Amino acid sequence: EVVLTQSPGTLSLSPGERATLSCRASQSVNSGQLAWYQQKPGQPPRLLIYAASTRAAGVPDRFSGSGSGTDFTLSISRLEPEDFAVYYCQDYDDSPYNFGQGTKLEIK
């Protein structure tokens, strides 16, 4: 079973800045089977990135994913006010399809 550790727990930045969120797996995630989701208060999550680096439909190109093996990164190039939310990574290579504990991106 893969355990995902996200860092930092909370990231305080200002609009216009660049955000870098990390997701580290306890063992290699085969074929980059890793996704990123965004969740805002009172809403279900929203798919941003899958296969480590493929943007989902409708996701702005300021969001990008990278990484392989055990280390993955979600980058947001220029933060917009609507980007402040909680972000989760998920391994979907094999059951159980675990999520990381989340990174809260807050306005500084």
Partner 1 sequence: EVRLLESGGGLVQPGGSLRLSCAASGFAFSRYAMTWVRQAPGKGLEWVSAISGSGGSTFYADSVKGRFTVSRDNSKNILYLQMNSLRAEDTAVFYCAKYLPEDSGSPRVVDYWGQGTLVTVSS
The site for partner 1 (CB under 8 A) is made up of 33, 35, 37, 39, 44-47, 50-51, 54, 56, 86, 88, 90, 92, 95-102
Nearer to partner 1, 73 or 98 (CB): 98
> Rounded to the nearest whole angstrom, what is the least distance from the CB of residue 79 to partner 1 in the complex?
22
Strand order across the 34-39 sheet: 10-13, 103-107, 86-91, 34-39, 46-50, 54-55
Q: With respect to partner 1, which residue has the nearer C-beta, 80 or 97? A: 97
Q: Hey, is 85 helix, strand or coil? A: coil
In whole angstroms, the minimum distance from the beta carbon of 78 to partner 1 comes to 25
Closest to 53 measured CA to CA, from 24, 32, 83: 32
